[in-house]
Structure 1
Amino acid sequence: MNTSSLKAAKGKVLLVTSSVDSILLKDGANAVAGFYLNELTIPMEAVVAAVYDIVLATPRGNKPVLDRSSATAAHFDNSEEALQRALEFVEKYPAMQNPVTLQSVVENGLDEYIGVFVPGGHPPMVDLMQDPYLGEILEHFHNNAKPSAFLCHGPISIACSVRDAKAFRAALTEDNIAAAKKASEDWQYAGYRMTVFSNDEEHYAEKNVFGGHKAPFYVADALTIAGGKLEFAEGGIFKPHAVVDRELITGQNPPSAPELARLFVKALNEISARVEV
């Protein structure tokens, strides 16, 4: 039995995932996509173990789609037991079975949430980065200095809070840097230190996941254009790396999940302690 379930929750965490299951690539090809298993479950299992409740929200209120290629023990230190526990979390944990819409989260009030988390996989590049309700949510978290964590491609979601998110994404897909800069003026995260899936890692994905097709744009370039101060792991691709700047916590890639989980829970505990006092 999970003894944490016997304790009163210390707060509520909003888990946000994409509603889509594919991504349109640069040349018009359509690629199947979904959330990465370890990127969602490692941080969320840590959150649950730290005695926080989770609410899952997506733009359409549908259950998110798993990228089946991520369901491998290699993403869990080669532990089949950890892999099966992660799959069970996705398939059986109550919050994962009862998603709500981002709109309903906004309409029901955001004060009850003390943290927000967005995992990766490519889908956030499609809908989350231009979702107006997520923009309202992140504005609330930013203004109230509440822990806001994003992993791998998840950090591109913070682009939903630029001045004109739809125009920003359109400009990126058209390689119109001037228009992208204009659409992202006065961004609330401008000047923040952050990380995200690197261009070199995306090149690897283009070759090994997308069959040589190009991504519609590069998330690292996008956040740089908007005003983010990007930092990446040294020593090659797929090295763990996480960055904390004020309320913003970002992780670079799938191997960064454990460190991001640690930093996120630490931040949740700090704000929970302040609320109790």
Structure 2
Amino acid sequence: MGSRDKGRVLIILSGADHLRMKNGTMLKTGYYLNELSDPLAYLHRAGFSVDFASPGRRTPAIDPLSLNFLKGERRTQALARVETREGLMRPLAIERITDDELTDYSGVFVPGGHAPMADLAGMERMKILFEHFHRGYKPTCLIGHGAAAVIPSITQNRPWIYRGYRMTCYPDWMDWIAQAVLRRLPGKLPFSISRNLKRAGGIVRHNHFPGRSFVIEDHELLTGQDPRSADRLGRAFVTKLEEYRKKEPLF
């Protein structure tokens, strides 16, 4: 680490570039550009180093829809932030990160885009990973459809680790508009993230005013609703990481 490094953050990304919809059609997807680039910029400026990880070390793809969300110079800057990150092209394999290696990280972040629904939502290793960050009270940051990554931590034999936590994720009604009105999705999504979180005991809230950012912090969990929340989420995540770094690790 360099002299500015305050600690390491693990960024978990989907390795999927397609998502199968309920009707069998395929949606081309990946990570949502600014949901990664905005928080990444704050982490970099604050002096945190990052490691990227994906299932099977697959190189993450950019969600094509996210390229249209940013215009002009904002898109150019966002692309530059991710394209210059060598680790993003050669991520770690989530399956091979050991429990001992997890202790080296001060926090974890999962960007959205629909891709996490295709692989992270069904990955058993995600359960162990989030339980580690929960036990250590380490900052855990999710945005949009990235919240699908905590679904494997929902178990039948004991209460969910985030039961009773306030949280947000990408709203079902916004996906419905994208599918039924705007025709940006070729069918209905295979499952509802918010419904899964609510059934497990999460207190899921959404902002119903389009264009406004919406971020919720509860204990170690920090969640953002959608791409418009990425900037605010990035600032809040860095603040939470800096607060954590001032305390003695729990283990």
SS in 1 for 2:239: helix
- Deviation (angstroms), 1:104: 2.0
* Aligned pairs for 1:32-111 within 5 A: 32-72=28-68, 74-75=69-70, 78=71, 80-106=72-98, 109-111=101-103
Between the aligned partners of 2:199 and 2:188, the Cα distance in structure 1 is 19
- Deviation (angstroms), 1:6: 6.3
Change in CA separation of 1:94 and 1:225 when aligned onto 2, cut-off 3 Å: same
Determine if contact 1:35/1:67 at 8 Å carries over to the other structure. yes
- Deviation (angstroms), 1:51: 0.3
Instruction: Look up the match of 1:174.
Output: none
- Deviation (angstroms), 1:95: 2.2
Instruction: Look up the match of 1:218.
Output: 192
Between the aligned partners of 1:6 and 1:156, the Cα distance in structure 2 is 33
* Aligned pairs for 1:134-149 within 5 A: 134-149=126-141
Q: CA RMSD in A?
A: 1.8
Instruction: Look up the match of 1:178.
Output: none
Match status 1:189 vs 2:162: yes
SS in 2 for 1:215: coil
Determine if contact 1:115/1:147 at 8 Å carries over to the other structure. yes
Between the aligned partners of 2:211 and 2:149, the Cα distance in structure 1 is 20
Match of 1:116 among 105, 108, 113: 108
- Deviation (angstroms), 1:117: 0.3
Query: What amino acid does structure 2 have at the position aligned with 1:118?
Result: V
Between the aligned partners of 2:65 and 2:175, the Cα distance in structure 1 is 16
Higher relative contact order (CA 8 A, sep 6+): 2
- Deviation (angstroms), 1:259: 1.1
Determine if contact 1:24/1:31 at 8 Å carries over to the other structure. yes
Match of 1:265 among 238, 248, 251: 238
- Deviation (angstroms), 1:16: 0.3
Per-residue deviation, residues 64-101 of structure 1 (Å, max 9, x unmatched): 010122124x43xx4x2232121122212122132010
* Unaligned 5+ runs, structure 2: none
User: Percent identity of the aligned residues?
Assistant: 32
TM-score (norm 1): 0.84
Q: What is the aligned residue count?
A: 247
* Unaligned 5+ runs, structure 1: 164-182
